[in-house]
Chains A and B, each alone.
Chain A
Amino acid sequence: MSDGIHTVRGRIFDIQKFSVHDGPGIRTIVFLKGCVLRCRWCCNPESQNWEIEGMIQNGVKKTVGRDITVGEVMTKVLQDKPYYRRSGGGLTLSGGETLCQPEFARALLLACRASGINTAIETTLCADYSVIESIAALVDTFLVDIKHMDSEKHRQFTTQPNDRILENAKRLASSGANMVVRVPVIPTFNDTPAELHAIAAFAHDTLKAKEMHILPYHRLGYDKYIGLGREYLMGDLPSPTKEAMTFFKDICMSAGITCHIGG
């Protein structure tokens, strides 16, 4: 492997170890900065802008975002190799949107291949398919966010229509990629049996995905919006109850797909 990939630079805002909910086993998540969507409920609003910015946290101003080389990221990632090996875990690229930094993402995935580390990316698939294609072979698990089947509603809540996302998901599925569909369950947006069932049916019938995760909306991002000087658009909507989530899970299962609450 040439040194080339290790000097590739990208922009991240966090590296989180011992994550057990984003892909198989014990994982290290690298959060890339910058996203094409602006989901109203996003719990990591500091992930959205490409620009490095300041955020006040517990009264202290902290800089969000830093430029880093693949080599530097891999030093961190490799520290937990014994745990990946024992758990089938590895690296998960999350964001932000990984696909916004294709060269960096590709270099990281290549470096993982070279070290025998399992890879996953958490993505909206909102990019040119050529970008997805350029990394697809290096990704062991795609955690694909499908938020809504209705394009207009999708646009209202995320600023982008869903046509390209669904189209990319289909193409990726037909290429044989290992895909898990993830759905944030957001009150007033998609928390009805019909809307969730539609996603489950798409995941099962069209994508032939083996698994689906439904993730309950939570308000933990609230402080970050305030810290960034932004408005929290979700108001004080409550999180779905445990009972509601169990009900939604059964709805999704009725479409024939295996469904878990949480990752």
Chain B
Amino acid sequence: MAKFHIIDLERPPRIGRLIDTLFDHMPEIESDRAVLLTESYMQTEGEPIITRRAKAFANICEKLPVTIREEELIVGSATKSPRGCQVFPEYSFSWLEAEFDTVSTRAADPFYISEETKSTLRSVYRYWEGKTTSELATSYMAKETLLAMQHNIFTPGNYFYNGIGHLTVDYAKVLRIGYRGIIEEAEKERSKYGFAHPEYAARTHFLNAVILSCNAAITFAKRYSALALEKAAGCSDPKRKKELLQIAANCARVPEYGASSFYEACQSFWFIQMLLQIESSGHSISPGRFDQYMYPYYRADLEAGKISPAFAQELMDCIWVKLNDLNKVRDAASAEGFAGYSLFQNLIAGGQTPDGVDATNDLSFMCIQATRHVLLPMPSFSVRVWNGTPHEFLLKAAELTRTGIGLPAYYNDEVIIPALLNRGLSMEDARDYNIIGCVEPQKAGKTDGWHDAAFFNMCRPLELVMNSGCDRSGTECDGTQIGPKTPPVTSMKTFEEFFDAYKTQTEYMLTLLVNADNSIDMAHAERCPLPFQSCMVEDCIGRGKSLQNGGAVYNFTGPQGFGIANMTDALYAIKTLVFEQKVMTMAELKEAVDHNFGEDIPDRSAQELTAKEMRRLADSGKAVTESLIKDTFRRLKCAGNTSDFQRAKYRKIRERIDSVPKYGNDISEVDDFAREVAYTYSRPLEKFKNPRGGQYQAGLYPVSANVPLGAQTGATPDGRLAFTPIADGVSPTAGKDTNGPTASCNSVSHLDHGIASNGTLFNMKFHPSALEGSTGLESFIALIRGFFDQKGSHVQFNVVSRETLLDAQQHPEKYKSLVVRVAGYSALFTTLSKPLQDDIINRTEQASF
């Protein structure tokens, strides 16, 4: 008998209709949560913060409007309107208030907001002035840190303005014992600490908060049970009436008690998943190993003849749709960095059990099928690959890739497990990893990983080297010293001197990044500890403290660097052309870079720079005239290139740079160099500690920030023009890897992925013809296998033709549901901003020959 029971099922008609309902309107911002939160806070002034958080959560669970959408089998919604979002003023609010009138028309991720909601939120916001985590974090930061952030060297914006998220809780535990079981556990723990115990205060309040939060979750589900009963009573369609009665029964039992069927487990899972995203605004709340913790319920029902595979599939499809019902509004700049309304709820199938045997089961295949049925950005669907992964599983995954949806992402156990062991995880825990958000591995239910802690633009330290630590964000140096005063580059005699200066700038900036992250970390612990999510992560109950206070078994902070390809190519070009071949001097190179290699800069960037310059002049009391603005714009636009002779000279330098070998072509000398360049970021980070008692670990991925942050970065000595995108993740620079997919895979696998234990991201783009037929699929799988054999960690694919994407830009209305891979996630192509769309189109496309 075959090991797996793989059934190809048609998509149930219900699923199509659920999706249509979801995408009918522009998502809307709602104010209910903010109002309820504030109402509770006003009543709890002076109480311990953990108690206040629990009471606020309870108030929300008791009063948030409950909604069952047409035909739903799995219920529970964060908002009345489909794909709507709540707001979270306890983290920050001023950006949203400032964007009230533009948020519905902005390019990236627009949201509708009614005038009524605006006015409600305006009045709520007054309460929060001076009380947010972001304000507290700012006050904790060193002034050097604030300066570096002002100059866009790095940005911790994610956690600076929002909740942390980036977590997989112990779903299995709630499915097994319910919140009732967790309450009992907390009560038992509480009883250990008598009135006179020195930790009575700290622990008791936390454990009480846990109990209150669990009860709140139960209440919330019961309200859904009541609503379903009410709807059933008024329902004339006998089939739907029966469904509603079943929903009512499910919500009456779970998540209060352990699930007694697969359907109950699905409903219970959904309440956990949704409520976590009501408690805080952190994204990347990742379902993790759904195929593992759900399987026992499926198998039991199947063996007892209580469920058909088709119905189980339909329930999973419903969950997949619901994962797209949750949403989050971000500030305009972050929206570009995380474009595509993504919540990065990463769900992973396959891999190994904690005992190290293959974990693939029928649900793993059904996860692939659910993703095929819904073809939506959520969940961020991933698969784990190890040496023992069944080939039929990879075939199904590859078929999904072939649809062009950009899913799944492939992860290599053989790299990730040792990398986690090196970070102190036990063997069992390391084998049980799942992926958070984009590409970040963690052990579910035991980790507070802080995985997306900051974007670090690796190109910026190089700009600082070129200007001895002064910022030259653009075409002109404003003279502010933000980094160490490294020697003038024109006086450098050896490449080592130059590389050392790069390391010096990087390491200094990393200390400031750590300063920023640790300040934010403290602010969250102080102002937004989260009792509900903490109750599902070991060992918060045992330690009697929240996740934000260091309750987790494993604690990390993982900021991500990006720009490896640019920095490798830039440093390698400098080494080759200036110091070895001596075909140009450093002064000549610097001059060319400062003048954007003789090319004009984009209007938008020139306008921004002009505005900045005018503000600076105005601040220093100088008169700003119309003609001064025009002159400045003209000068900045042409990057100071005054004559054709100069332009030609700079272009010649860029041509020389172009002829130097580039990363991504399987040239060992360049790839060895890339490895060293990546170490300049990943090695120094390892020595830093966070306030939760954990360690820093590097990630190498950009989400989609390589585009907006590239727009703040001047020309770089790899020939990259000012303000254009930086290479994404560990991928080669677009268009520079010209030796085919195996060569780029070889180059990328040459990096040390093990030390970048917060994840690395490799994007590949294939023309659909490359995956045609069984030959195409088999070769594709062999390519992944070959890449992973050489210790690549992650790879993901866009399989969509260039022509299709160009057409979608022209006729967005025809491509409303075209999903593409952006970075560690997929998004609807037409919802992305134009520069990001262009970036995706320009990624090197690999065809087969």
Task: Give me the interface of A with B, judged by CB distance under 8 Å.
Answer: 16-21, 25-26, 29, 79-80, 82-83, 85-87, 89
Contact = CB atoms under 8 A, between A and B. Distances in A.
A87 B782 contact: yes
A87 B746 CA distance: 16
Contact of A18 (B741, B778, B785): B741
Contacts of A87: 778-779, 782-783, 786
B325 interface: no
A25 B849 contact: no
Nearest to B743: A17
B776 A86 contact: no
Interface string B781-799: 1110111011000000000
Contacts of A29: 849
Contacts of B778: 25, 87
A85 B790 CA distance: 12
Contacts of A82: 785-787, 789-790
Nearest to A29: B849
Most buried by B among A20, A21, A89: A20
B739 interface: yes
Interface string B737-770: 0011111001000000000000000000000000
Which one of B742, B743, B779 has the highest number of Cβ atoms from chain A below 10 Å of its Cβ? B779
Nearest to A82: B786
B582 to A, nearest CB: 28
A18 B782 contact: no
A82 B792 CA distance: 12
A253 B446 CA distance: 60
B740 A89 contact: no
Q: Which 5 A-B pairs have the closest CB atoms?
A: A87-B782, A83-B786, A82-B786, A86-B785, A86-B782
A79 B667 CA distance: 10
Contacts of B848: 18-21
A25 B846 CA distance: 17
B666 interface: yes
B767 to A, nearest CB: 12
B123 interface: no
Main secondary structure of the interface of A (DSSP, over half): mixed
B775 interface: yes
Nearest to A15: B739
Contacts of B742: 17-18, 26, 79-80, 83
26 contacts: A16-B740, A18-B849, A20-B775, A20-B849, A25-B778, A25-B779, A25-B782, A26-B779, A29-B849, A79-B666, A79-B742, A79-B743, A79-B746, A82-B785, A82-B786, A82-B789, A82-B790, A83-B742, A83-B782, A83-B783, A85-B786, A86-B781, A86-B789, A87-B778, A87-B779, A89-B782
A17 B739 contact: yes
Contacts of B740: 16-18
Contacts of B849: 16, 18-21, 29
Nearest to B789: A82
B786 A86 contact: yes
A93 B849 CA distance: 15
Contacts of B787: 82
B746 A20 contact: no
Contact of A20 (B776, B786, B789): B776
Given A19-B848, A26-B742, 10 more contacts: A16-B740, A18-B740, A18-B779, A20-B775, A20-B848, A21-B848, A25-B782, A79-B743, A86-B785, A86-B789
A125 B238 CA distance: 74
Nearest to B780: A20
Contacts of A21: 775, 848-849
Interface in B72-121: none
B484 to A, nearest CB: 40
Contacts of A19: 848-849
Interface of B: 666, 739-743, 746, 775-776, 778-779, 781-783, 785-787, 789-790, 846, 848-849
A85 B785 CA distance: 9
A234 B172 CA distance: 68
Contacts of B741: 18
Contacts of B775: 20-21
Contacts of A25: 778-779, 782
Q: Which of A21, A29, A80, A89 has the most CB of B within 10 A?
A: A80
A221 to B, nearest CB: 14
Contacts of B783: 18, 26, 83, 86-87
Contacts of B790: 82
Contacts of B739: 17
Contacts of B776: 20
Contacts of A26: 742, 779, 782-783, 786
A79 B746 CA distance: 8
Contacts of A17: 739-740, 742-743
Contacts of B846: 18
Interface centre among A17, A18, A25, A29 (most CB of B within 10 A): A18
Contacts of A18: 740-742, 779, 783, 846, 848-849
A21 B790 CA distance: 24
A142 to B, nearest CB: 19
Contacts of A20: 775-776, 779, 848-849
Contacts of B782: 25-26, 83, 86-87, 89
Contacts of A16: 740, 849
Nearest to A88: B782
Q: Which of B786, B787, B790 has the most CB of A within 10 A?
A: B786
Nearest to B667: A79
Nearest to B849: A19
Contacts of B781: 86
Nearest to A81: B786
A24 to B, nearest CB: 9
A85 B789 CA distance: 10
A17 B738 CA distance: 11
B315 to A, nearest CB: 36
A46 B783 CA distance: 30
A29 B365 CA distance: 36
A80 B789 CA distance: 12
Contacts of A89: 782
A118 B778 CA distance: 17
B718 to A, nearest CB: 23
A108 to B, nearest CB: 19
Nearest to A83: B786
B744 to A, nearest CB: 10
B687 to A, nearest CB: 34
Nearest to B787: A82
A77 to B, nearest CB: 11
B778 to A, nearest CB: 7
B656 to A, nearest CB: 18
Contacts of B789: 82, 85-86
A26 B846 CA distance: 14
Contacts of B746: 79-80
A208 to B, nearest CB: 23
A82 B782 CA distance: 9
Contacts of A79: 666, 742-743, 746
A86 B666 CA distance: 19
A226 to B, nearest CB: 22
A145 B848 CA distance: 22
Nearest to A20: B779
B633 to A, nearest CB: 36
Nearest to A17: B740
B824 to A, nearest CB: 25
B100 to A, nearest CB: 51
A236 to B, nearest CB: 24
B450 to A, nearest CB: 35
A29 B743 CA distance: 14
Nearest to A16: B849
B170 to A, nearest CB: 36
A101 to B, nearest CB: 22
A82 B412 CA distance: 15
A21 B779 CA distance: 10
A19 B848 CA distance: 6
